[in-house]
Structure 1
Amino acid sequence: MASSSSNVVGVHYRVGKKVGEGSFGVIFEGTNLLNNQQVAIKFEPRKSDAPQLRDEYRTYKILVGCPGIPNVYYFGQEGLHNILVIDLLGPSLEDLFDHCGRRFTIKTVVMVAKQMEPRKSDAPQLRDEYRTYKILVGCPGIPNVYYFGQEGLHNILVIDLLGPSLEDLFDHCGRRFTIKTVVMVAKQMLSRVQTIHEKNLIYRDIKPDNFIIGRPGTKAANVIHVIDFGMAKQYRDPKTKQHIPYRERKSLSGTARYMSINTHLGREQSRRDDLEALGHVFMYFLRGGLPWQGLKAATNKQKYEKIGEKKQTTQIRDLCEGFPDELNKYLTYVRNLGFEDTPDYDYLRELFTQALKNTGEVEDGEYDWMKISKDSGKGWDGSKGHNNAYLHNPNARPGPSQMELHSGQRGGASAAHAQAQNLTVSRLNAAQPPPPSPIKQMNKGRPNAPGALGAQRSSGVGGLRDMATPAGSTQAQFQNSNRNLPQTAPQQSPAQPAQPSGRSPEPQPSGMQKFMKVLCCG
């Protein structure tokens, strides 16, 4: 395959022994004759039905300098082959997995799943996220945090390894949840958000990707956990309980698909905005999509504005048409909350209890992703070992279901259950894709999530550092701090739309983000 009798390609790369091969071609060890550096040399037939080395080379050039990305030294065509020269690295995780008898310990998986971000990031957030986890330590549905530190060029955060996100499970169930599942999910999500609020924080990035169930085979398999607190912020002083002041012309913070109308209008977020975003998530699960998805615009700023306008002109009764009236009552209630109002979480949970009762269903802890496994033998079989009171009580003491996230397979599990443990959870039976849905087209660019990764954010996200009012401050509140949005679009007060900041509404995840999500959250 070499271009000369001396077995040299690319002018100064000597080809050595073969180290691997695949459907694309062959990989050889090589040596850079200028500095004796070892490299990997890939050969691919130029007449391949689907040549890929040129595209691979271009991708490496885009990612050049990023941590964990090999350096690329050469691409060219010599004789009958395309040739790519990159760093020579060690074995793959799959090779190491085989070497270890196809089983890694929890310790190894946790270390592999470390979240990493450059220490020179424009908006480093892992330290703030770590502090938030420490504030919430011991609360139901909050992952344990084990380590934060700086190693080399990176900040590193280690937390519990959990299962798939609600967005993953939504995909797995054909992008539609039943009323029963939405009710049970809603009550858990409400309790998690209530816990966060009672710790003087608002979450500010409600979306299905950030709500994760436990690992299969544990008692917490269907306990919904909250991850990714990079956008969290204190809304009141922990000691004095003084609320932050009402402000306008704020930058957007959160995910445009689910954020509240107030957020679109540039108004300071408070507890009401987390709850309105939850309501949008609930309708997303029931409808399979939201009316403001799939809007096109020339720029992100214009897209934000279009989404906000569509939310304002979509009547609650139209959004909730065909579903229990309790959904209408929920959104009406949360949109009428004042800026500093304390929500009645018990009332909101009771709405969902009543909605399920009216359908004749029973809250038995069996979710849609569990029923699929019964019907087809291929599904997400979660443990039923949790206590429903634990799931919905924000003040409950964490029991075994919270602390045994690292336990092994529960005794007596079925063969299907055991098989589920070995699945890569983010794939969720990739051989059995969900039925085609037009909503898929609207969701091509759905946000990354997940997982516990500190996803990239624009500058200006300060986490806990952007507490607006210092301890003991007597700064006057705006007189209109309890301003609310009316229910009909024509009555909306004109306000300057918020400038995009924080997260984009529908960012396309990079390949590295997808890879790290698989490592971190299954």
Structure 2
Amino acid sequence: MAADYGRKHPQRIENWWLGECLGSGFSGAIYKATHLFTHQTVALKLQDKDEACPTNRYERYFYPILQGGLGMPRLWGSGVDGRWDWLAIDLLGNSLDRIFRLSGKNVMDLRSVCCLAQQIVRFSLALPASPYTIDVNYVKIARLEFMHDRGLLHRDIQLGNCVVGLPPNQETVYMIDFGFSKQYIDPSTRRHIPESNKPRDFLGNYYFTSVNVHCRGKVPSRRDDLEAVGLMLIHLLTPGGLSWIRNGVPKTDIAHNRLKREKQRATPEDLCRGLPSEFEEFLRYCRRLKFAERPDYERWIDEFKELAVSRGYPASDAFVWPPPVNEPTVHVERHPRPSLQVRVDNQELENAVGALANLALSPRQVLGQRDVNEVTPPRPADGEIKKKKTQADRSLDGVIVISDDENELYVPPGGVRLHKAAHLSLLARKVPDTTDNAALSKLVLEFWQVLSSNRSRALTKEGFAFLDALYKQLTDPSVYVVPMRTSRTRGHTNENPVVLDRQAKMSELFKLRIDVGRASSNAVLAKMVADFGNVIDRSNGRTVTKDALGFLEGLAGRLRALQ
């Protein structure tokens, strides 16, 4: 039927004059249309009112619910004119599918994919046109979180249904096509729809619809919209795309069943091999969610933002296309020193070499082994006058100086604040070089400050790297330690690891918080750090609770007491 739209459409629909045909589908077509009196230009969705799949009728009901959200098109009018059911919505730019195809690239760049992840899931503000009036009604949650908080599921997330805006909104991604959307909150009871095992017809797209909905016939919920986003992002980063997409839309039931089997067999580990681990974790997280559980949108916004920053990209989520040349935001030296040519005469050089020869260089001492590593300094040269110790010199007796600035908090040049990922990575790198409990205590306290001050309470890979290094340093720095974060790509094939429920997690963290103050040695503290990491790793969302922060604060205090 779609093939007939281009020949049978009228030139005018009510007050709209139809122009260029922008596209057509199995149930209708979209035209660029201009209002005869206001000259406003819109995208007009045209559909036969007797169409077997009347998506316009459904969208007309859903658009008022979605009005005001950033990245949601505005509905300017709708109605029925003769045999034609029409919707007038914002005229937007190219879809992600068209953008990707026109690029001619095998994969999309990581920065663009991270921007898409943040925009499709993220919390945003839609500000009024006037800069002098700010109404609380303009504070909106965008894209999926906005839809879900309005009680709607999209159910057809794909590259063709994500489009960019026209200038000046060309860096904003919009969600479109709500013909398959559905309310998951019952309007009469205000309760979540029930889960059901009854056989149901498949509704969605073959490529990115979740495994539960597409392959197992489950009722869709918020988790399935998020899984579709995850598969779409992985597809953009995979050379040649997801394997079940490469043969196109299946034409027969046999081909469709083959596609479903391939899609169901593909594990997150296989799909994300060679990709940053955040994508595997995101897919696993979506598949662990319970049917009626609300996803932690904010956590994954932060995860993808930190991933972009850790790779040297800006923290902005603006979708810039074509992608700009990568200019890392983290520089080794913000203000390079000018090159100076200093002339040194032979006498000065001889004096400097002599001073170096008389330096007393002794090995660095190791925690708890001062008597073993103590080295007698060389005798002073004959005739050298021994200086008397000042009060300040005597106060330093017995103190192990590790380095001049090792225990100082890191302050980047120009006062630039470190992002969470960069800060935790820096702390993890400092731990192996720290050989006394007082210095370890300061690092743990700084680790606690980063987690408690950050908006996202998820313990990321950098946080687990710090715990791994701390455990290793408290036990034996020469022994290799198996990392605590088990879900990363290390050959684990168990897609559904044992997850602690909320009550068990709280109970174990509370016990650790109480017991840490009674730890008798570094070995006991090391075991507690390992238990702490395992509890967080096995919990849903890997969030750091108040008891977890209390344990870290108590750990820092106990390290000071045991020095």
TM-score w.r.t. the length of structure 1 is 0.50
Which amino acid is the alignment partner of residue 201 of structure 1?
L
- Give the residue type in structure 2 aligned to 1:272: R
Q: Corresponding residue for 1:153?
A: 83
1:205–1:231 Cα contact (<8 Å) kept: yes
In the alignment, residue 225 of structure 1 is paired with which amino acid?
Y
- Partner in structure 2 of residue 253 of structure 1: 203
Q: Is the 8 A contact 2:19 2:33 kept in 1?
A: no
**CA, structure 1 residues 331+65, in 2 after alignment: closer, same or farther (shift >3 Å)?**
closer
Match among 257, 275, 278 for residue 305 of structure 1: 257
Mapped partners of 1:64, 1:321: distance in 2: 44
Which residue number corresponds to residue 362 of structure 1? 314
Structure 2 residue matching 1:251: 3-state secondary structure:
coil
2:178 counterpart residue number: 229
Report deviation, 1:489: 8.5
Distance 1:246 1:146, change over 3 A: same
Alignment of 1:130-145 (within 5 A): 130-145=60-75
Question: Structure 1 residues 487, 114: CA separation in 2 closer, same or farther (over 3 Å shift)?
Answer: farther
Counterpart secondary structure, 1:156? strand
Larger Rg: 2
Does the residue aligned with 2:245 lie in a helix, a strand or coil? coil
Deviations 1:418-444 (A, max 9, x none): xxxxxxxxxxxxxxxxxxxxxxxxxxx
Q: Distance in 2 between matches of 1:237 and 1:169?
A: 37
1:160 Cα deviation after fit: 0.7
Aligned to 2:101: 171
Equivalent residue letter for 1:277? A
Q: Structure 2 residue aligned with 1:321, among 254, 257, 273?
A: 273
Is contact 2:114-2:305 (8 Å) kept? yes
* SS of residue in 2 equivalent to 1:329: helix
Render the CA deviation track for 1:334-356: whole Å, top value 9, x for unaligned.
Answer: 01111111111111212212221
Per-residue CA deviations over 1:37-76 (Å, capped at 9, x if unaligned) read xxxxxxxxxxxxxxxxxxxxxx99x849973399xxxxxx
AA aligned opposite 1:226: M
In the superposition, relative to structure 1, how do residues 131 and 110 fare at CA in structure 2: closer, same or farther (>3 Å)? farther
Distance of 2:6 and 2:164 partners within structure 1 = 35
CA–CA separation in structure 2 for the residues paired with 1:302 and 1:349: 39
2:153 aligned residue (190, 195, 202):
202
* Greater strand fraction, Structure 1 or Structure 2: 1
C-alpha contact 2:157 2:229 (8 A) present in aligned 1: yes
1:213 equivalent in alignment to 2:164:
yes
Q: Secondary structure in 2 aligned to 1:115?
A: strand
Other-structure match for 2:113: 182
Count residues in correspondence. 290
Of Structure 1 and Structure 2, the greater helix share is in 2
Root-mean-square deviation (CA, aligned residues, Å) is 3.5
Change (3 A) 1:121 1:268: same
Q: Residues 328-339 of structure 1 correspond to what in structure 2 (within 5 A)?
A: 328-339=280-291
> Partners of 1:298 and 1:201 in 2: how far apart?
29
Contact 1:114 1:158 in 2 (8 A): yes
Helix, strand or coil: the match of 2:91?
coil
Is 1:273 aligned to 2:227, yes or no?
A: no
Tell me what 1:67 maps to: 8
Q: What is the letter of the counterpart of residue 141 of structure 1?
A: G
Q: With CA pairs under 8 Å and 6+ residues apart, which has the higher RCO, 1 or 2?
A: 1
Q: Deviations over 1:297-337 (max 9, x none)?
A: 98533333222211221121121111111111100100111
1:284 aligns with: 235
Greater Cα shift, 292-301 or 321-330? 292-301
Structure 1: runs of 5+ lacking an equivalent: 1-58, 71-91, 95-103, 375-485, 492-522
Contact map agreement 2:119 2:173 (CA 8 A) in 1:
yes
CA contact (8 A) 1:203 1:229 kept: yes
Please give the alpha-carbon distance, in whole angstroms, between the structure 2 residues aligned to 1:64 and 1:195: 33
Distance 1:298 1:254 in 2: 14
**Alpha-carbon spacing, 1:368–1:163, altered in 2? closer, same or farther (3 Å):** same
The structure-2 alpha-carbon separation of the partners of 1:115 and 1:353, relative to structure 1 and needing over 3 Å to count, comes to same
- Structure 2 unaligned runs (5+)? 12-17, 21-31, 123-142, 327-491, 498-563
Structure 2 counterpart of 1:273, which letter? D
Distance (whole Å) between structure 2 residues aligned to residue 298 and residue 292 of structure 1: 10
Report the identity percentage. 30
Query: Using the alignment, how far apart are the partners of 2:496 and 2:6 within structure 1?
Result: 51
1-structure distance, mates of 2:50, 2:313: 52
Could you tell me the TM-score, scaled by structure 2's length?
A: 0.47
Q: Supply the distance in 2 between the matched residues of 1:350 and 1:141 (Cα, whole angstroms).
A: 19
Question: Is contact 2:69–2:146 with CA below 8 Å preserved after alignment?
Answer: yes
Q: Residues 323, 298 of structure 1: CA spacing in aligned structure 2 closer, same or farther, 3 A cutoff?
A: closer
> In the aligned structure 2, how far is the partner of 1:297 from the partner of 1:140?
32
Counterpart CA distance in 2 for 1:211 and 1:148 is: 22
